[in-house]
Structure 1
Amino acid sequence: MIKPLSKSRFKLGLECPNKLFFTSKTAYANQSADDSFFQALAEGGFQVEALARLHYPEGAFIDTKNYEYDLAVNLTKSQLEKDSISIYEAAIAYERLFIRTDILSKKGNHIKLIEVKAKSFDPSYEHLFIGKRGGINSGWKPYLFDLAFQKYVAQKAYPEFTFEAFLLMADKTKTAKVDGLNQLFRIPKEGNPRTDATSSITSISEIGESVLSEINVDSIINKIIANEYPYFDNLSFEESIHLFKDAYQNDNYLNWPTKFGNCKGCQFKTTLEQEAEGLKSGFKYCFKKQHGWKSIDFEKSNAFEIWNFRGKNLVEENRLLMSELTENDINIKFEAGRLSASERQWIQIEKAQQDDNTIFVLKNELKEEMNSWQYPLHFIDFETSTVALPFTKGRKPYEQVAFQFSHHQLNKDGSIEHKSEYINNTPGEFPNFEFARALQKSLSKDQGTIFRFAAHENTIVNAIISQLSSSTELDKVELITFLKSISTSTKDNTDQWTGNRSMIDLNKVVKDYYYNPITKGSNSIKVVLPASIYSSSFLQEKYSKPINEINVGSTNFESDIIWLQKKDDEVINPYKMLPPLFDGWSTFDLDNTISELDNIADGGAALTAYAKLQYVEMDDNEREEITTALLKYCELDTLAMVMIYEHFKYDLIQ
C-alpha cells in the first residue's frame, strides 16, 4: 500500500487541508514533528493505554512497523476471523484509507471501536461533547472526527460487521484505590512507550478499580458521518475524506483559503536556524501563492505578531502587514492606571510602523506599583506535571503534581541570594505536601513581597490547598493557612480568599505598564528576559561580570559564571547558555544513556525530564545528571525574574 491517508493525516487535513502538501516532505520544516516517545511519556498516554488494555485483557497486539501497512492489515484480518477477540492496534484499510485502532473488541458480528485518550472527562457533565447551542464543543471536535474516520473506514472495509464507537479516558469522578498506581506501568531501558511498557499487574481486580471509564459516542459519530456536524461548511464528511486522500496521494496543493488563527499557529514555519540549513517554510509557500507576498514581506512586521489579537477580516482583505493596519482594526479601549489589551496592541503596531524600538512604559504607574513592594523580595518559580495515573490512594487522574521550585531573594542592599530550592526525583512519590512544607520554610521568615511570573504558580497553590483539605496530613491546617496567605483563590473555587502576601504576578506587571518592541508582542519570560538585557544599560554593565563579583549567589552554577555574553555583538539569550546534558561524558557513558535529552531550557523539556525520571528505568548517574539540569533551569527562571525587576527599577523608574 503506497502512501495511504491515515487518521493522523486526516486530522491534519481538518486543521488545514493545505498542510497535507507539506507533511511527510523532508524539505519542509515541521515544528510539531512527532516524537512519539516524548509525547506519550510527558502526557502519560502510554500509561493510560496500558491500563486501558487491561479492560480488554489477553488481546492480540498487531505489532508491526509504521510502514508495514499490508502486513498489519493482513494480521488484523486473520484475527477478525475469530468469533470473539480483542485486538490492540488493529489495522484496517479501505481504498487507500488506513487506520489503527487503539482497541477493537469483537463478539460475533458486532465490533466495538475504542479510542483511548490521555484526557480526562466528567461523565456527569450534561454538555460534555455537544454544547448548549447544539454544536460539537471545539475541544472535543478533533477526537470525535478522528473516531468518525475510524468507523467510516472500518465499516467500509467490513460491511458484514456492525461497529460501535467508544472513548476510553480518565474519569474525573474516580479515585485510585491503591498507592503507587502510576508506578505499575513503566518503560524499560531502550523501550518504546507504545510497545514496550511493562506492567506488574495482569488484572484490574488487582488495583480494586480502574480510574478509566468508557463512554459510548456512537450516536455523535454517526451524525458526523451523516454530515449533521460538518467540520467545513462547504464540505461534507465523506467529501473531505476523498479530497484529502486525493490531495495527499497525488501531491496536490489544495490552495485552501488561509485563516488568521490557523496560519498564526502553523507548524510548517521555519526558524532562522532551519532556513540556514535549507529547510523550506509551508507558511511562506501559502502566503506567496495566496497573498502575493514577496520574500522581503516576510521580513516585515505583520499582524500575526500582535499580542492577543484575533485578526478580524485581515486575511480576507489581504491586509496583514503592520504598515497596513489602522486604529479601526483594534478598537482601542483605555483603562485608568494601566495599559488595556487594545491599547497595548496599538502601541505595538505604531512602534512597528515607525520602526521605533524604544520602550514604552507608564513610568509613574509602574513606580507607584513598585513602591508598594516590601523587601526582601522573593521570586518563585514552580515546575509541575499532571500525571495521568495517580501516585497515591484517593487521588484522581491528572491532578497537579508540584515536583520542583526555585527561590531567589533580593535584599534591600541589592544583594541577591539563591535562597532555597526543592526537587523530588524519586519515582512514585507524591511530592505536593513536602513541596508545600519546603515552600513554607522558605517564605515564612519575613513579610517580604513574593513574585511569580504568570498565573501558573497561583493555580498550583490552589490545587495543593484542595488536595490538603481532603488529606489526613497532621499539619494540613497550618499548611493551608500559609498557602492561602501567599495566594488568591481561583474563580471556580467555592472558598474565596486573597492572601495578605498573595504573590505578585510579574507577568501582569509587564502587561500593565511596559512594552518592549524587541519582544514583538510576546510576554514569555524566555523573550522578555533577553529583550530586557538588550535594552538595559544597568543589566549589561552588571551581568557582564562574574556573579561572585556582583554579589549574586548561586546554588547550581559556578561562582565565576558570566550571564551577559555576546556573539557577533549580539547579546546571547541566557537560556541558550544553559549547559548541555552529559557535557564531558565519555563516549562509552553516553552510549549507555537512554533519556534522549540534549538540554533542559524550557518548560516542555522540564516536563519531559520529570516524566523520564518517573517512568523510565535508568542508571543513577543519568538520573542525577537530569536532576542537576532541572535545578539549573529552574534557578535561571527565578534569576530571570530578578533581572527583569532590576531592569524596571534601575532603567525605567529612576
Structure 2
Amino acid sequence: MKPLTKSRFKLGLECPNKLYFTSKKEYANQSLDDSFLVALAKGGFQVEALARLHYPGGVFIDTENHEYDRAINLTRVQLGKDAISIYEAAFEHEGLFIRTDVLSKKGNHIKLIEVKAKSFDPNDEYLFLGKRGGINKGWKSYLFDLAFQKYVAQKAYPQFTFEAYLLMADKTKTSKVNGLNQLFRVPKEGNPRTDVVRSISSIDEIGGSVLSEINVDTLINGIIANEHPYFDNLSFLESITLFKGAYQNNEYLNWPTNFSSCKGCEFKTTPEQAKEGLKSGFKYCFKKQHQWQDQDFEKSNAFEIWNFRGKNLVEENRLLMDDLTEEDINIKVEAGRLSSSERQWVQIEKAQQKDDSIFVLKEELKEEMAKWNFPLHFIDFETSTVALPFTKDRNPYEQVAFQFSHHQLHEDGSIEHRNEYINNTPGEFPNFEFARALKKALSEDEGTIFRFAAHENTIVNAIISQLQAGTEEDATELIAFLKSISTSTKNNVDQWIGRRSMVDLNKVVKDHYYNPLTKGSNSIKAVLPASLDTSTFLQEKYSQPIGTIRVGSTNFEADHVWLQKNNEGVVNPYKMLPPLFEGWSMLELDDTISELEGIADGGAALTAYAKLQYTDMDQKERDEITNALLKYCELDTLAMVMIYEHFKYDLYV
C-alpha cells in the first residue's frame, strides 16, 4: 500500500513536484524528520495530551506509521460503537489515508477534531478569512489539511455525518494553576507521540483548559467545494487526484517552478550530502525546467539575494545573477545608509564582477560608531514560548526568557565575559529573576548596549508587560531599568525610547556593510565566519589561545582557539560547539528548527530548553545540555564583539 497521506497531500500543496522526491532515500531532505525534536520545539505533544482530556476515556489506535491496514481495522471496530472517542483514528478511501488527532462519535454523527500547537483569538472576526474573503495565509495549510481529512473520512463512511473542528490554545484564556506545562512529560528515551505521562486525569483538576474548540465545518465544506481554491488552475478534488496519481506512479509532475517555493526547497543538498552521493531535487527541477547545467549551480543566483521577492524571474528563466539588471531591483536611495534595494544591487554587482571584497559606507559607519560609549556591552537572550503556561494567570505562548550572555569590551581592548544567566529548572517561570540578573549586569555604567536583531528588544517589552500585570515588589524599579535599555514596540500602549536603548548591531551591518562571503545572509552565524575569513585583525588575534589575547571566558578553557582553518578556509566557530542532540550539531539544529513557523532564530537553544523542561533525564545529561547552552550563548555575544572589532580595526581606520 502506497497511500497519499495527509502529510503528502500538504507537501503537494507546497509544490506538486516534491511528491516525486519524498520517501526516496537517494534524495537529500533538509526538513527535520526527527519527530521528537519537532514535538519539543513546537510543544505539540503537550497540547495534544491536554486536548485528549477534552474527550476523556478515548481509545488510542496504537500502530506504527506504516501499519495502514491494522490501523484502519482497529478504527473500524471502535466506530461500531454508538458512542466513542478515538485518538488517531485511521481512514482510507481509494488510495487516500488519514489519521485524525481526536474523533468523537455519538450515534451517526462524528466530530473530527484537529489539534494544533497554535494560538488564536476567538474574538477575531477575520481569523480565517480576510476582509476580502480569501483564506489568510497563516491558516491555509491547516485548513486544507483538515479538509482532506474530512473528505477521506466521509468517503470511507458515507453512512455517518462528519463535522470539522480545530482545537487550539486560546489567547483569551489563562492557566488556573501553577506548573501546567509540567503535567505532561516525556520519559527518558520516550516517544512524545505515544509515551507522554500525564499527571492528571481530568480537566477539572486544573480548573479548566487553556484550549478552545472552534467549529470550522462551513469553511472546510467550502474548501472541498472549491470555493477557496489553493491553485488557480486546480480544484480541491483535482489536486487530490493529481497528487495521488503522481505519488503512486512515481511521476514527476513538472509543475512550474515558483520563486518562493524553490528558494525554501528542502530537497537541496549540502556540500557534505553531495559528497556522500545524495541527489538534489532542486537540481532535478532546474535541469529539467530551466536547462541548467552542472556549472550553473555553482554560480550565484537570485535566491541568494537578501529580502528579494523574485518578480517574474522564474517565468523568464533569468535566475542567475549574471542575468539581472538594475530594473529588476528598482533602486531607491536613502541618505546615510544602504537602502534595501541598494544593498540588493551591491550584492548582484559583486556577484557579477566576481568581487569578494567588502562594501562599506565607511564615513557613515564611523559616524555611527562615534556615538557609542565605553565600556561596550554585548548581550544575547535565549527564549521560548510555550502553549501551556508555566504559572497561574498566564496566557498561552507568553514569552519565557531563560538565558542571557553578556560580554563587555573595554576601551583598552580587553574583553570580559562579564555575566551569564540560565534557568534550567523544570516548571519555573524565570522572567523576573532574568530581569533582576540583567539589571545587575548592566547597571554599573552608562556604556552602550548592543543586541543583534530585534528579538532582545521584543523580549524586554514582553517582560515589562508581565511585570505591570504582576505583583513583584520591585516591579517599579525593574520596569524603569528595562525601559531605560529598550524602545517600545508599536503595539505597546506606552511609548518610550530608553536613554540607553540597545543598539541593533544587525541593523548597523545592514545599513553600512556587505560581505559577499555571507551570500546575502545577515544572520550572525553567517556574518561571523565571513568576518573571520576577511579580517586580517581577527585572523591574527583569534588564531591565538584566548588566554593570551585578553579575552575572558566563563565556559571555554584559556587554551581555546576560536579561529581554525581547513582546506575550505575558516571553520565556522558555531561548528566547533558541542552537539545538543545525537546526530545534530547546534548549527544544523538551529538552521532547521528555525524554519518552523513562529521560530525566527535560536531554534537549537529553544529545543534544548524544551528538553530540559519536559523530558525526564539524569543529572549528567541535564548538566551536559546546560553546559552546551552556556557555550552557545557565550559565542553569540563574543561573535558580536568580533564583528565590532572587524569594523573598528579593518574598516574604521
The TM-score, its normalising length taken from structure 1, stands at 0.97
Using the TM superposition, give the Cα deviation of residue 566 of structure 1 relative to its aligned residue in structure 2, in angstroms: 1.1
Partner residue, 2:526: 527
Distance 1:33 1:209 in 2: 34
Distance 1:45 1:623 in 2: 22
Partner residue, 2:46: 47
The one-letter code of the counterpart of 1:275 is A
Distance 1:529 1:444 in 2: 28
Is residue 87 from structure 1 mapped to residue 74 from structure 2 by the alignment?
no
Using the TM superposition, give the Cα deviation of residue 568 of structure 1 relative to its aligned residue in structure 2, in angstroms: 2.2
Secondary structure in structure 2 of the residue aligned to 1:50: helix
Matches within 5 A, 1:58-77: 58-77=57-76
Partner residue, 1:584: none
Distance 2:619 2:102 in 1: 36
Secondary structure in structure 2 of the residue aligned to 1:381: strand
Runs (4 or more) in structure 1 with deviation over 6 Å come to: none
Partner residue, 1:306: 305
Matches within 5 A, 1:40-189: 40-189=39-188
Partner residue, 2:345: 346
Matches within 5 A, 1:382-401: 382-401=381-400
Is residue 600 from structure 1 mapped to residue 600 from structure 2 by the alignment?
no
Matches within 5 A, 1:405-444: 405-444=404-443
Distance 1:189 1:40 in 2: 15
Distance 1:167 1:123 in 2: 12
Contact 2:575 2:585 in 1 (8 A): no
Contact 1:83 1:108 in 2 (8 A): yes
Distance 1:349 1:189 in 2: 50
Contact 1:580 1:599 in 2 (8 A): yes
Larger mean Cα displacement after TM superposition, 21-30 or 565-574: 565-574
Secondary structure in structure 2 of the residue aligned to 1:315: coil
Partner residue, 2:484: 485
Contact 1:378 1:410 in 2 (8 A): yes
Partner residue, 2:597: none
The TM-score, its normalising length taken from structure 2, stands at 0.97
Secondary structure in structure 2 of the residue aligned to 1:88: strand
The one-letter code of the counterpart of 1:425 is N
The one-letter code of the counterpart of 1:18 is N
Matches within 5 A, 1:190-589: 190-568=189-567, 570-580=569-579
Q: Write out per-residue CA displacement over residues 433-471 of structure 1, whole angstroms, 9 at most, x where no aligned residue.
A: 000000000000000000000011111111111111100
Using the TM superposition, give the Cα deviation of residue 604 of structure 1 relative to its aligned residue in structure 2, in angstroms: 1.6
Distance 2:196 2:387 in 1: 15
Partner residue, 2:594: none
Runs of 5+ consecutive residues of structure 1 not aligned to the other structure: 582-594
Distance 1:577 1:443 in 2: 29
Distance 2:346 2:244 in 1: 45
Partner residue, 2:637: 638
The one-letter code of the counterpart of 2:112 is L
The one-letter code of the counterpart of 1:435 is F
Secondary structure in structure 2 of the residue aligned to 1:193: coil
Contact 2:574 2:586 in 1 (8 A): no
Using the TM superposition, give the Cα deviation of residue 394 of structure 1 relative to its aligned residue in structure 2, in angstroms: 0.5
The one-letter code of the counterpart of 2:620 is N
Using the TM superposition, give the Cα deviation of residue 577 of structure 1 relative to its aligned residue in structure 2, in angstroms: 1.4
Runs of 5+ consecutive residues of structure 2 not aligned to the other structure: 591-601
Distance 2:87 2:652 in 1: 63
Contact 1:29 1:270 in 2 (8 A): yes
Larger mean Cα displacement after TM superposition, 186-195 or 57-66: 186-195
Secondary structure in structure 2 of the residue aligned to 1:169: strand
Using the TM superposition, give the Cα deviation of residue 600 of structure 1 relative to its aligned residue in structure 2, in angstroms: 3.2
Matches within 5 A, 1:9-28: 9-28=8-27
Distance 1:568 1:596 in 2: 26
Distance 1:96 1:311 in 2: 37
Secondary structure in structure 2 of the residue aligned to 1:91: strand
Using the TM superposition, give the Cα deviation of residue 524 of structure 1 relative to its aligned residue in structure 2, in angstroms: 0.4
Contact 1:600 1:629 in 2 (8 A): no
Distance 1:341 1:555 in 2: 38
The one-letter code of the counterpart of 2:157 is Y
The one-letter code of the counterpart of 2:480 is T
Distance 2:585 2:187 in 1: 22
Partner residue, 1:590: none
The one-letter code of the counterpart of 1:600 is M
Partner residue, 1:591: none
Distance 1:401 1:89 in 2: 31
Distance 1:625 1:128 in 2: 42
The one-letter code of the counterpart of 1:306 is I
Distance 1:390 1:379 in 2: 30
Q: Percent identity?
A: 80
Partner residue, 1:586: none
Q: 1:358 to 1:290 in 2, by over 3 A?
A: same
